[in-house]
């Protein structure tokens, strides 16, 4: 057993042991990781830094329920947490501890997957696209990305997985409807998922929310993303993607595919345009436009007070009717909400992942060029995270999941073999 662990550790040293794995470099071939930390960044930049985070990347980045943006669209230090965000915070704290005279103040900015690297290389003088200093989430290391920005050491290894709606039996890739030439597979824009797809009709979506809505509507057969992110959506009832899709279920799902998930009857316009008035028009609109010459009162005065008494009686009945209507609307609103909640819960109950692993993804933290001191502090935080009990950090954000052999080996190596 010990020999197996040692062998696995040797393999992981080659696979993950440095940013040099699989061609990864630190943007400076002469620099080594055992060099002492720089006294400060080479360039004197603002003490404020922006950290990019994604709303749909839980459990790597999680926005607090009470988080609020400031007037510049930034979130504060306590507004975000998560497996990767916690490491980023430790890195910032470590940097400030070593540079007390030039501390940095970090803010979080919400971005989409397609923006991650572009915002790290964006011109700081362009106010339309605020430049980022690092991105904290589930960012895969690829040669193309390494050529643009520096990356930290590897902090997580995940598998690319495909989610599908379980409808009984095994999913058969060959048993597709006759009208479908190829398998329809969705993925989030800007991810590396497309690189693992071949001979399929790939469809991209801006966030996982829209992608999973398309899966619910059967507009795609599979939705491909990181297994850890997908598992959190399935298992965690408080997952932000899951909650957001539940809140927008009527708009994103039922209204888009009523044949799959029928809308609530109150949301359907049931009238014949040829005979019935448009929805929202009062049934007696025509009679209101034509004067009723048989009415008791035609002006502001009435005969011997009879009309005034009748009017008071009508006001009383109208108020009672209004209260009844308000109660009915409240009851109906609850019924509508429960209708869509049942549908969404049914979808998530049947959402599952295929056992196939499409690829292995190595996650790291990309940092803006020139932030060498910050990058060094981030690498210290990664090592400290594993040395201080890597499995505890894993269980905190991945409850119910067991670390894979690769993750256990990563914990063993990063933790100094403890």
- CATH code for the domain in which residue 224 is found: 3.40.190.10
At 139-193, the pLDDT tens digits run: 999 999 999 999 999 999 888 888 999 865 444 444 444 455 678 899 998 887 7
* 259 and 164 within one domain: yes
Residue 305 lies in a domain: no
* 116 and 90 within one domain: yes
Residue 308 lies in a domain: no
Average pLDDT of the chain, as a whole number: 76
What pLDDT is recorded for position 25?
40
* 169 and 247 within one domain: yes
Residues 6+ apart with CB under 8 A from 392: none
Q: How far apart are CA 53 and CA 366, in angstroms?
A: 12
Place of tokens 């959402």: 351
What pLDDT is recorded for position 401?
72
Residue 148 lies in a domain: yes
Give the C-alpha distances (Å, rounded to integers) separating 398 from 60, 113, 387, 393: 10, 22, 18, 9
What pLDDT is recorded for position 316?
56
* 217 and 247 within one domain: yes
Between β-strands 105-110 and 80-81, what pairing exists: parallel, antiparallel or unpaired?
unpaired
Residue 281 lies in a domain: no
What pLDDT is recorded for position 334?
83
Q: Map 135-187 to HEC letters.
A: ECCCEECCHHHHCCCCECCCCEEEEEEEEEECCCCCCCCCCCCCCCCCEEEEE
Residue 316 lies in a domain: no
Are the CB atoms for 213 and 256 separated by under 8 Å?
Answer: yes
Structural domain including 90 reads 2-155+365-414
* 174 and 135 within one domain: no
Are the CB atoms for 215 and 352 separated by under 8 Å?
Answer: no
What pLDDT is recorded for position 312?
54
Number of folded domains that form the chain: 2
Domain final position from 353, 375, 395: 353
The sign one gets for the Cα dihedral 223, 229, 235, 236 is negative
Residue 315 lies in a domain: no
What's the gap between Cα 201 and its chain centre?
23
* 136 and 253 within one domain: no
What pLDDT is recorded for position 315?
58
Low-confidence ranges of the chain (pLDDT < 50): 1-2, 4-5, 7-8, 10-15, 17-38, 40, 42-46, 169-178, 269-307, 309-310, 418
* 380 and 236 within one domain: no
Q: Provide the 3-class DSSP secondary structure of residue 63.
A: strand
What pLDDT is recorded for position 186?
92
- Alpha helix locations (H) across 153-301? 208-216, 227-235, 240-247, 249, 285-289
Residue 400 lies in a domain: yes
Domain final position from 311, 333, 353: 353
Are the CB atoms for 245 and 209 separated by under 8 Å?
Answer: yes
Are the CB atoms for 161 and 200 separated by under 8 Å?
Answer: no
* 238 and 182 within one domain: yes
What pLDDT is recorded for position 416?
54
Hey, what are 390's tokens? 């890597």
What pLDDT is recorded for position 118?
93
Partners of 204 in the β-ladder: 187
Residue 270 lies in a domain: no
Place of tokens 């572009």: 118
Are the CB atoms for 155 and 390 separated by under 8 Å?
Answer: no
* 255 and 189 within one domain: yes
Q: Please indicate, yes or no, whether the overall pTM of this predicted structure exceeds 0.85.
A: no
* 145 and 7 within one domain: yes
List the one residue out of 89, 49, 9 whose CA is nearest residue 380: 89
* 151 and 10 within one domain: yes
Are the CB atoms for 135 and 52 separated by under 8 Å?
Answer: yes
Give the C-alpha distances (Å, rounded to integers) separating 146 from 143, 191, 246: 5, 15, 37
* 235 and 100 within one domain: no
């Amino acid at each position: 057993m010990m020999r197996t662990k040692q062998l696995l550790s040797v393999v992981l040293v080659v696979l993950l042991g440095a940013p040099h794995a699989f061609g990864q470099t630190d943007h400076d071939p002469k620099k080594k990781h055992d060099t002492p930390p720089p006294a400060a960044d080479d360039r004197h930049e603002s003490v404020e830094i922006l950290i990019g985070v994604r709303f749909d990347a839980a459990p790597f980045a999680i926005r607090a329920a009470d988080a609020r943006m400031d007037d510049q669209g930034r979130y504060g230090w306590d507004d975000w947490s998560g497996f990767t965000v916690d490491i980023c915070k430790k890195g910032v704290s470590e940097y400030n501890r070593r540079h007390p005279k030039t501390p940095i103040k970090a803010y979080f900015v919400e971005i989409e997957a397609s923006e991650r690297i572009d915002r790290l290389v964006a011109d700081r003088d362009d106010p339309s696209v605020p430049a980022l200093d690092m991105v904290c989430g589930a960012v895969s290391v690829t040669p193309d990305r390494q050529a643009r920005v520096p990356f930290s050491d590897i902090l997580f290894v995940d598998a690319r997985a495909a989610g599908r709606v379980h409808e009984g039996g095994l999913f058969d890739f060959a048993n597709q409807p006759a009208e479908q030439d190829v398998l329809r597979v969705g993925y989030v824009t800007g991810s590396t998922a497309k690189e693992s797809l071949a001979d399929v009709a790939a469809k991209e979506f801006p966030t996982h929310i829209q992608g999973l809505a398309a899966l619910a509507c059967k507009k795609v057969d599979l939705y491909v993303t990181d297994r850890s992110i997908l598992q959190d959506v399935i298992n965690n009832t408080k997952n932000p993607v899951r909650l957001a899709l539940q809140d927008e279920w009527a708009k994103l799902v039922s209204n888009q595919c009523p044949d799959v998930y029928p809308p609530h009857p109150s949301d359907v316009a049931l009238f014949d345009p040829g005979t019935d008035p448009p929805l929202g028009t009062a049934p007696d609109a025509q009679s209101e436009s034509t004067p009723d010459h048989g009415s008791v009162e035609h002006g502001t005065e009435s005969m011997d007070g009879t009309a005034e008494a009748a009017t008071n009686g009508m006001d009383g009945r109208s108020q009672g009717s209004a209260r009844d209507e308000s109660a009915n609307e409240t009851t109906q609103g609850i019924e509508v909400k429960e209708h869509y909640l049942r549908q969404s819960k049914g979808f998530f109950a049947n959402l599952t992942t295929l056992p196939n692993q499409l690829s292995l993804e190595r996650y790291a933290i990309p940092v803006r060029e020139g932030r060498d001191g910050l990058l060094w502090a981030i690498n210290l935080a990664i090592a400290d995270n594993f040395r201080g009990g890597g499995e505890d950090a894993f269980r905190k954000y991945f409850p119910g999941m067991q670390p894979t052999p690769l993750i256990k080996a990563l914990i063993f190596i990063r933790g100094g073999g403890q």
